[in-house]
Amino acid sequence: MKRRLAYAVAAAVCLVLAAPAAPALAAPAGAPPADSSGAADDQADRGSAAQKRRQALTALTDAGAASAIAEIHDRRGVWRGASGVADLATGAPARADGRFRAGSVTKMFVATTVLQLVGEHRLDLDDSVEKHLPGLVPGGADITVRQLLNHTSGLWDPTNESGGIFPELFDPAVFRAWYADGGLQRTVTARELVAASAAHPPYFPPGSEWRYSNTNYALLGLLIGKTTGHDYGQEITRRILRPLGMTGSSFPGTASTIPGPHAHGYWTIVEEGAPVRKTYVDVTEQNPSWAGAAGELISTTADLARFERALLDGRLLPPRLMREMTSAVPTEPGSHQLDYGLGLARYQLSCGPVLGHNGGIFGYDTQLWGTADRQVALSYTGRGDAKDEEAQLTAMRAFLEEAFCGGR
């Protein structure tokens, strides 16, 4: 369970599910064109860049992802692309404007909202968990809001550890039984997650190390609710989604469907033998309450790129709090390939660092990264075994390299 369901942002960024090659880029009637740009000059250069982006996106479906969609905003305008199929059963092509489960990209929205509350003097980064949520977390007096935001609290993660809230889902018999028994539709509250975490010793004393844990953001969601009197999803919608016009984004709560056009997500059951047999289970409809403030957001690439641009432009937080948000700690000792700030990661590419987050949830993987002059949002639905997953990770990294560093 540990890494494949993880919202982890390791330098590998996130593991996915995979399978055989899918069709090349396609945009059905009614969807935005696969490529578009607002610039009228540099036609040859722009065409070359668009072709390379198309090829890099198609490499994800060539590596076995069922679908891949992306949007890139830069000084030349907007490029968007779609590759593969939205539904294995019908073969319908993926739509560039489709919605998807964004997983841990949700953390950027939660962190931004918490920092806005800090700016309003309703919270302080050095406040203890115990101050605002008394009695909820053992040792909460020694854990600060900052440590929740940057994953240095040491709290055990029941969503990514054996013995947590999920059974051993990579055992085919266990997954089938769990799925048949309605496992994907069960409601798991934030307080249940926190209680499951508290039943295990912490990884380390608060502030002494870094380790990704969704428990941190379950607590931050509760903290937003306690401070504002509103559910965190309602508060983020009021503060961020509506002002930015993010009409394709929502917090589903316990609702299991994805509204609007969307690609289906798949879970792969791998059974050893000669030959190895793979079964793809449609997990599109799922109750994301277990992910909650750590990863329940539904969005589009256009909406995510818009949010990233607003954040990095300074429209959501003042400079003082952006400095706090981007003050990052290494995720691996001695390495700065990926550092983690306050809900915002810094990922090192060949042409320099980018800021953002990734996300993974049953059936869906998302990447959202940006600089002052370019924002990139990518969603893909992977299928496959460990070998296919590694191929998709390689293709995903290559897409980010092309999106940010190509032609420079």
Peptide bond into 259 cis (omega under 30): no
How far lies 257's CA from each of 56, 233, 260, 298, in Å? 30, 17, 9, 10
Residue 370's DSSP bridge partners are 355, 375
CB 222 within 8 A of CB 230: no
Question: CA-to-CA distance for 183 and 195, rounded, in angstroms?
Answer: 19
Collapsing DSSP to helix, strand or coil, 314 comes out as coil
| Helix H or strand E encompassing 368 | strand 364-370
> Are residues 136 and 371 in contact, defined by beta-carbon separation less than 8 angstroms?
no
Q: Torsion over CA of 157, 148, 300 and 364, rounded to 10 degrees?
A: -10
Largest CA distance in the chain: 63
Name the DSSP letter for residue 3: T
What one-letter code names the amino acid at 177? A
- The phi and psi torsions of 279 (rounded to 5 degrees) equal -120, 130
- Cβ count within 10 A of residue 108: 26
Q: Are 42 and 370 in contact (CB under 8 A)?
A: no
Distance (Å, rounded) from C-alpha 384 to C-alpha 374? 31
Q: Where in the sequence numbering do the catalytic residues fall? A: 104
Q: How far is CA 44 from CA 39, 57, 373, 402, in A?
A: 12, 20, 21, 17
